[in-house]
Amino acid sequence: LQRVAAQARQLGAASATPVAADLSSPEGARIALQAALGAKGFNGGIDVLVLNHIIGFWGWTLPDNITSAKAHELGEVSKRVGSFEAMERIIDVNTVSYMKLAVLAAPALVRSGTEKPGLGGRLVVVSSLAGKLGLPKVAPYSASKHALHGFFDSLRIEFVAKQLPVTVTLCTLGLIDTENARNQTAGDLKNSPKASPADETAMAILRAGATGCVDISGSF
């Protein structure tokens, strides 16, 4: 995080302050947001909130021995891919923390949108095509992304109904060419469309958020 902050400053950011927090914990979102609001350069306000933190997960399957279960025997998650606790952590980080951060930041975003029309009050949510389609090997991750669309499409209506100057942009991404994605899916996606360059995808997210676009989808 310190390296990312240093690079941001080198690229011209007026300030960049990394904040580490456990977003799977009940108070993690509140702690992170309070730290950001109190950071140098923020002055207690937020113009743009981009939600793009995840627990990525590839390879989730049902157990191989599911057909041999005896009467009254309950199913379990395949031991190769984690546990029910791991599934809950994915939902907590990928979904619940997004919801918490958005609601907690709403007053600051409304204030920014009022004081800086056309510039402030931007809420950007990075999702995935796995949130629009059911896909193999990613069931818990896909569930966490599906929930984002239901919540933030509804939250957008709440802002409109209350005539609050906050835009909600959902970025529904396809496969992105990152080292982590290549390592996790090695050999599994050889027949899939070419992955999108990470830098071009980042620029697409920035443009969509800056213009208050409702939704962008696919590869870039």
Kindly tell me if the per-residue pLDDT of 96 is higher than 80: yes
Task: Supply the pLDDT for residue 138.
Answer: 86
Q: How far apart are CA 86 and CA 130, in angstroms?
A: 18
Terminal Cα-to-Cα distance of the chain (whole angstroms): 26
Query: Which one of the listed residues 141, 151, 152, 159 is annotated catalytic?
Result: 141
Kindly tell me if the per-residue pLDDT of 219 is higher than 90: no
φ and ψ at 169, to 5 degrees? -110, 120
Task: Supply the pLDDT for residue 209.
Answer: 94
Are 135 and 189 contacting, i.e. CB atoms less than 8 angstroms apart?
no
Least confident piece of the model among 6-15, 61-70, 115-124: 61-70
pLDDT digits (tens, 9 = 90+) for 34-50: 999 998 888 889 999 99
Kindly tell me if the per-residue pLDDT of 190 is higher than 90: no
Average pLDDT of span 111-133: 93
- CB-based contacts of 51, cutoff 8 Å, min separation 6: 98, 101, 102, 123, 124, 125, 126
Question: Which amino acid is residue 72, in one-letter code?
Answer: H
141 is catalytic: yes
